[in-house]
């Protein structure tokens, strides 16, 4: 049975979470609606993450990895995962497991007529400051993009691979994935998913990343929207 879904898992200094990632995905594979595999993207980790990733991949044929020479950031890791996907669908989840691999089954049931399905974190298990800063950032972004999404920062998404590989990613654009699908005249949908507290490792984003950074990225998105090239071929002599 061929794989239908590749799930990209960006990793940056997550040595304390990776064995949990392996265990949770092995559970998910047993109930997966579509045959799935994991693609770790090691974003230049300085801890023992790479060694653990290689051990996981050596004992599980459903796990693969690519590793950056140096840290390039979350958007670059996601872009590299998309570019190295060879299945019909590509998913994305963070390695901190604040969302559950099993919830890919919820998303994949909705993907049929849509080109991106993203989770919305129900009953978020984060601090008050983190929740409020994310809520404000989502409101600012939504006013710029008009994408109708309540929680683009949710690290649980499924995208049709041909759409994902056409996204012109730049630093910070991982927050704008639904908007970038809409630029391609694609269809997007959001569905509620579970959310859990981080139990190991350290968060990589602070107040700056959630508020001021995304505000600057909104202006970059507006520039890209104005310059974005989109076309449809009506006729062709090619077979």
Q: What is the tens place of the pLDDT at every residue in 78-92? A: 999 999 999 999 999
Query: Per-residue pLDDT tens for 201-224?
Result: 565 555 555 556 666 777 777 777
**Rounded Cα distance, 223 and 153, in Å:** 21
Structure tokens at 76: 């670059």
Say if residue 153's pLDDT is above 80: no
Lowest average pLDDT, out of 24-28, 84-88, 100-104, 216-220, goes to 216-220
Rg for the chain (alpha carbons), in Å? 17
Nearest to 145, CA basis, from 78, 228, 219: 219
Q: Kindly state whether residue 219 falls inside one of the protein's structural domains.
A: yes
Would residue 234 count as lying in a domain?
Answer: no
The CATH number assigned to the domain holding 123 equals 3.90.550.10
Residue 170's pLDDT band (boundaries 50, 70, 90)?
Answer: confident
Q: What is the mean pLDDT of the chain?
A: 85
Residue 235 in domain: no
Kindly state whether residue 239 falls inside one of the protein's structural domains.
no
Flag whether 26 is in a domain: yes
Q: Per the domain annotation, does 41 fall within a domain?
A: yes
The whole-model pTM stands at: 0.81
Tell me the residue range of the domain where 102 lies.
Answer: 5-227
H helices of the chain, in order, are: 18-31, 49-59, 74-83, 104-108, 128-145, 161-164, 177-183, 207-210, 212-227
For residue 78, tell me if it sits in a domain.
yes
Query: pLDDT higher for 140 or 237?
Result: 237
Residue 238 placed within a domain: no
- Predicted local confidence at residue 214, as pLDDT: 67
Residue 62, C-beta contacts closer than 8 angstroms, at least 6 positions apart: 25, 29, 36, 37, 38
Q: What local confidence, expressed as pLDDT, does residue 128 receive?
A: 47
Mean pLDDT value across residues 152-163: 90
2's CB contacts (< 8 A; 6+ apart) are 35
Question: What whole-number distance in Å separates Cα of residue 153 and Cα of residue 155?
Answer: 6
Q: How many domains does the chain have?
A: 1
Copy the structure tokens of residue 55: 């051990």
29-72 pLDDT tens trace: 999 999 999 999 999 999 999 999 999 999 999 999 999 999 99
> So what's the pLDDT on residue 228?
72
């Amino acid at each position: 049975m061929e794989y239908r879904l590749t799930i990209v898992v960006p990793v940056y200094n997550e040595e304390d979470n990776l064995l949990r990632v392996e265990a949770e995905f092995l559970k998910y594979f047993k109930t997966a609606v579509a045959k799935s595999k994991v693609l770790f993207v090691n974003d230049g980790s300085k801890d023992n993450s790479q060694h653990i990733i290689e051990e996981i991949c050596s004992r599980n044929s459903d796990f693969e990895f690519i590793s950056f020479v140096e840290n390039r950031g979350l958007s670059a890791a996601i872009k590299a995962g998309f570019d190295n996907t060879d299945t019909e669908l590509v998913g994305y989840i963070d390695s901190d497991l604040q969302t559950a691999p099993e919830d890919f089954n919820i998303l994949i049931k909705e993907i049929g007529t849509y080109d991106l399905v993203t989770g919305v974190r129900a009953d978020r298990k984060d601090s008050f400051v983190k929740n409020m800063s994310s809520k404000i950032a989502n409101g600012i972004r939504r006013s710029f993009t008009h994408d109708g999404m309540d929680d683009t920062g949710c690290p649980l998404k499924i995208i049709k691979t041909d759409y994902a590989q056409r996204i012109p990613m730049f630093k910070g654009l991982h927050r704008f994935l639904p908007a970038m699908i809409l630029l391609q005249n694609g269809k997007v949908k959001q569905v509620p998913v579970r959310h859990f507290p981080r139990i190991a490792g350290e968060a990589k984003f602070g107040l700056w990343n959630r508020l001021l950074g995304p505000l600057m990225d909104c202006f970059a998105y507006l520039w890209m929207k104005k310059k974005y090239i989109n076309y449809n071929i009506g006729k062709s002599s090619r077979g």
